[in-house]
Amino acid sequence: MQPKSRSYRIVLTATLALAISGCGPEPDPSVGFEMPRFDSQELAEGRSIWMGTCRACHLLGVAGAPAVTDYENWTPRIAKGMPALYKGPIHGIKGDDGKYKMPPRAGNDRLSDVQIQRAADYMVAAVEHLHRQASGE
The CATH-assigned architecture of domain 27-134 is: Orthogonal Bundle (1.10)
List 94's β-bridge partners, or say none: 100
- In a 10 Å sphere around its CB, with 0-12 CB exposed, 13-18 middle and 19+ buried, how is residue 89 labelled? buried
The rounded distance, in Å, linking the Cα atoms of 91 and 94 is: 10
In this structure, the dihedral spanned by the alpha carbons of residues 33, 38, 41 and 45, taken in order and rounded to 10 degrees, is: -20
Q: Which of 39, 45, 71, 68 is nearest to 56 (CA)?
A: 68
Cα–Cα distance, 117 to 123 (Å, whole number): 10
Mean pLDDT for each consecutive 10-residue tract of the chain (137 residues)? Answer: 56 48 44 84 97 93 91 96 96 93 94 97 96 88
Tell the burial category of 27 from Cβ atoms under 10 Å away from its Cβ (0-12, 13-18, 19+): exposed
